[in-house]
């Protein structure tokens, strides 16, 4: 059932929403963990039959995640103690 493209796309959407929620509310761990699991599940479901679609989703998400991580690291480094 998960290998159907519509279900895999829904899993990817839920995963992306969970990862975004983790960036918006950093103290919460559950949305990011579930988002990662759903994103990996959705990509895994797309790989056997739809490799191009899986790569088309994974690469932009990877770039956005790397960009946000770089911003978070830079902000943490520039943070001053009060």
Query: Is the CB of residue 51 less than 8 Å from the CB of residue 45?
Result: no
- Per-residue pLDDT tens digits for 11-44: 888 888 888 888 888 777 788 888 888 888 888 8
The predicted pLDDT at position 82 comes to: 59
Is pLDDT of 74 > 70? yes
Q: Quickly tell me which residue has 């829904």 as its tokens.
A: 10
On the question of pLDDT at 1 being above 70, the answer is no
**What is d(CA 69, CA 81) in angstroms, rounded to the nearest whole number?**
21
| C-alpha dist (Å) from residue 53 to 24, 36, 40, 48 | 27, 18, 14, 11
pLDDT, position 26: 77
pLDDT at 3 over 70: no
């Amino acid at each position: 059932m998960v290998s159907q493209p519509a279900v895999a796309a829904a899993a990817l959407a839920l995963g992306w929403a969970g990862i975004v929620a983790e960036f918006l509310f950093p103290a919460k761990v559950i949305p990011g963990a579930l988002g990662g699991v759903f994103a990996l599940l959705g990509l895994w479901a797309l790989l056997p039959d739809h490799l191009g679609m899986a790569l088309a989703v994974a690469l932009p998400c990877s770039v956005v995640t790397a960009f946000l991580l770089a911003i978070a690291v830079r902000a943490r480094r520039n943070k001053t103690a009060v």
